[in-house]
A and B are shown apart, each in its own frame.
Chain A
Amino acid sequence: MRESSSTPAATIALVGNPNSGKTTVFNALTGLRHRIGNYPGVTVERREGRLLLDDQRAWAILDLPGTYSLLANSPDERITTEILLGQTPHTPRPAMTICVVDARALERSLYLVSQLIDQQLPLLLALNMMDNARREGIRINARSLSHELGIPVIPMVASRGEGIRELRQALRNGPPPTLPPLEWRLPEPVRREWEELSAMLREHHQLAPPVASHEAMVLLSRPRPESGDDRRFAPVILQHLAKDHQKLDFLGYDRQVMMLEARQEWSRALAARVSSRSAAGGTPSLSDRLDRVLTHRVWGFVIFLGVMGLLFQAIFSWAEIPMDLIGRLFDQVGHLIVGVMGPGDLRDLLVDGALAGVAAVVMFLPQIVFLFLFLGLLEETGYMARAAFIMDRPMRRIGLNGKSFIPLLSSFACAIPGIMATRTMENSRDRIATMLVAPFMSCSARLPVYALLIGTTIPAISVFGILSLPALTLFGMYLLGIGAAVLVSWIFSKTALRRTTPVFLMEMPPYRLPSIRSVLAQTGERAWVFLRRAGTVILGASIILWFLATYPKSDAGTPSEKLQQSFAGRAGRAIEPVIAPLGFDWKIRIGLISSLLQREMFVSTMGTIYNVQTNDDGGTVSLRERMQNDTRAGTGERLFTPLRGICLMIYYVLAMQCLSTVAVMRRETNGWKWPLIQILLMTALAYGVTFVVYQGALRLGLGGP
């Protein structure tokens, strides 16, 4: 995580098919010295690490999104192509490239390798998972593969660290400066047109030779000569292209597959030359046997529900113990500060503003950790792909598909990684539909809000002896979000996003034991991002809120009256006419305003407000109790009745209330149209449903304490 002060190092890029163990190689090479960020302009996660070779040269290593081809079309895969071709601003073309190949899928991977070699990228080949290949009776002669390709080939088992030393050695030696041209053969007329077009692109657009030939190939293989991005090319190129298309079509070439077929022909022949497979024993592999159970029509579903149940159990019940500890720790710190410092504005700012606000959010770290731990384990073991497989059919009924499942499951952690996870979806209609409903999944930022409100307003009564009312309420909130997502996506699939034939096409990686190290590393990264946010944005916002809730100071009156006189109190009153029919008073309204930034701010706002209000000898009374004891002046009616608590939660389930999600939506959809639709839709739904529930319940006489 340490930043180096030296000049930016040259870059090594890691590429490979999904599930080739690319990230394991990355972790093995970098240890834990890496960070995640974003590529400028897009939210594709950029995983970058540092590598110090024995000769003290420092390199930056980029873990690029997995891809099967440089011609692929999902946003994720396009990033890989653009980086490798040096088309991304601020990211120079990598000085070296490591292509990670799953040894069992050599033939398929050679397709990508051939594209990389054609790009004249300085290349090393990491032949990973050799142990699995051996177990399946596959033998690969790495030396002759290396000889045929003209690049170093390093056999390895990255998960056990085997071959990492050799890979580092190979990196230090550097790849051969120039690569011999590959012997994959295009039919003569096609090759001629390709070379001609490449030459024109070099001349008219000053493209580097490998980039020009890549672009020429893309242009020749596309269905029609004209396309959306024509402005990139000079008219003379497009005219020439139209003629090329005509000619090749007339000669009877299937332009869209000719390049691919030629490369695959080459891959097949090469794979046959360098590898052999002993007669496959009749016994199906362990993965196949597991699949028979885990994707079984009945058992598959039962196990799936069990796994999901375990996930939620971990988040909502196991996480409570560490959460409690963190809460107590912050209390202690508060007492300590109160004991050391004399009373005054500075102490109030520290304890009531900064500490209370940050504590309210950091409390939820254990839940975040459990969630990402689970998601990481599911991904690593290979079960995630099966969950998508099982969920495909039910998801289709509501206008989504199996591939939407992973983004939506991640959205229970946070809609942002969820929305980013849709980048692996090639179909833009499916992708937008998934992004639209992702924020309805109750994210971990809502959890603090639910937890506080349930603890405050829902009595701990047990139902049918085994279930508790608070737990049921929480479950209900999750169901409400899912229900809203189902409804919205179903409506959209019948209207604005009418479906074309949906397609499910996904590799099912072999089951394997998860690498605990890399799961922990990933979870650590996420936890760090969360904590950093608590330490920066939320800390800052808490201090501002404390200020708004404290000033201008009025000397007279009860603490409550003072608060009403403050800036925050006035703002809360300003939106009263709109929000009053939902039953929310001015303190809740302050919470709603502050949590526009992010939802968990509601909790820290309550923390700040109630600390400000009972500004006495430190916080021994919990926030929960303070809120429960809050009554309306005059009538003595409790503010946080069960009805108000439920209405507030319903509002939080359905409302957008998250600026970061809006920003991500805008970037991912390249415009304001979808984020605006999403905001309008969610706000209308949140307001409407809350209004109906609150007013309906009042009419039915259910508004009591």
Chain B
Amino acid sequence: MTPAATVPLSEAPLGRRVRIHRLSASPEVSRRLRELGLCEHAIVSCLLKGHGNIICAVQNTRIGIDRGLARTIVVSAAE
């Protein structure tokens, strides 16, 4: 497996399916992210950006997160 190029979720192109590589927020916040389904290896896609925040889709649900937090979620292209 070749190491894929990684970017923060905040930079991921809209609508593109990406895979979560690593969470680098504080342990407490990371746990919350994981419980909402934003865990390592999960497939997400950014649906829209606006008002300084992002709505992303994961497992059929929509999660709103702020861009600062999205910067701590490292993703790479899925497949």
Q: Which B residue's beta carbon lies closest to that of A74?
A: B32
Inter-chain pairs besides A295-B51, A296-B50, 18 sampled, C-beta below 8 Å: A68-B35, A73-B28, A104-B60, A104-B61, A105-B60, A260-B31, A264-B39, A287-B62, A292-B48, A297-B51, A388-B64, A392-B66, A396-B52, A503-B29, A504-B53, A504-B69, A508-B62, A510-B62
* Most chain B CB atoms below 10 A, which of A102, A426, A504: A504
Cβ proximity bits B55-79 to A, threshold 8 Å, 1 near / 0 not: 1000111111110110000000000
Assembled-state Cα–Cα distance A73/B30 (Å): 13
Chain A residues near B34: list those with CB within 8 A.
257, 260, 264
Across the interface, do A108 and B37 meet the contact criterion of CB distance under 8 Å? yes
The B interface, classified by DSSP as helix, strand, loop or mixed, is mixed
A227 to chain B, nearest CB (A): 13
Across the interface, do A105 and B61 meet the contact criterion of CB distance under 8 Å? yes
Partner-B contacts on A (CB < 8 A): 68-69, 71-73, 102, 104-105, 107-108, 111, 136, 138, 223, 256-257, 260-261, 264, 287-288, 291-292, 295-297, 300, 385, 388-390, 392-393, 396, 401-402, 426, 501-510
17 A-B residue pairs with Cβ-Cβ distance under 8 Å, sorted by A, are: A71-B35, A104-B60, A108-B61, A136-B60, A261-B39, A287-B62, A288-B62, A291-B47, A291-B48, A297-B50, A300-B50, A426-B32, A501-B68, A505-B66, A508-B62, A508-B63, A508-B64
Partner-A contacts on B (CB < 8 A): 25, 27-37, 39-40, 47-48, 50-53, 55, 59-66, 68-69
B55 to chain A, nearest CB (A): 6
Assembled-state Cα–Cα distance A300/B52 (Å): 13
Q: Which A residue's beta carbon lies closest to that of B65?
A: A505
Assembled-state Cα–Cα distance A510/B55 (Å): 12
Assembled-state Cα–Cα distance A71/B52 (Å): 30
Across the interface, do A260 and B39 meet the contact criterion of CB distance under 8 Å? yes
Evaluate whether A295 and B36 lie within 8 angstroms (CB atoms) in the complex, with A505-B64, A506-B63 already known: no
Across the interface, do B61 and A390 meet the contact criterion of CB distance under 8 Å? no
Chain B residues near A510: list those with CB within 8 A.
62
A5 to chain B, nearest CB (A): 43
Across the interface, do B37 and A223 meet the contact criterion of CB distance under 8 Å? no
Across the interface, do B55 and A503 meet the contact criterion of CB distance under 8 Å? no
Chain A residues near B40: list those with CB within 8 A.
261
Across the interface, do B53 and A389 meet the contact criterion of CB distance under 8 Å? yes
Across the interface, do A107 and B37 meet the contact criterion of CB distance under 8 Å? yes
Chain B residues near A300: list those with CB within 8 A.
50-51
A116 to chain B, nearest CB (A): 14
Chain B residues near A505: list those with CB within 8 A.
29, 32-33, 36, 63-66, 69
B30 to chain A, nearest CB (A): 8
Assembled-state Cα–Cα distance A257/B40 (Å): 10
Q: Which B residue's beta carbon lies closest to that of A298?
A: B50
* Most chain A CB atoms below 10 A, which of B33, B35, B37: B35
B22 to chain A, nearest CB (A): 11
Chain A residues near B29: list those with CB within 8 A.
503, 505
Q: Which B residue's beta carbon lies closest to that of A73?
A: B28
Across the interface, do B62 and A507 meet the contact criterion of CB distance under 8 Å? yes
Evaluate whether A389 and B61 lie within 8 angstroms (CB atoms) in the complex, with A108-B37, A256-B27, A260-B39 already known: no
Across the interface, do B48 and A68 meet the contact criterion of CB distance under 8 Å? no
Chain B residues near A292: list those with CB within 8 A.
48
* Contact among A72, A287, A502 with B35 in the assembled complex (CB-CB below 8 Å): A72
Assembled-state Cα–Cα distance A145/B35 (Å): 21
Top 7 nearest A-B pairs (CB, nearest first) are: A504-B66, A508-B62, A393-B52, A68-B35, A104-B60, A108-B37, A389-B64
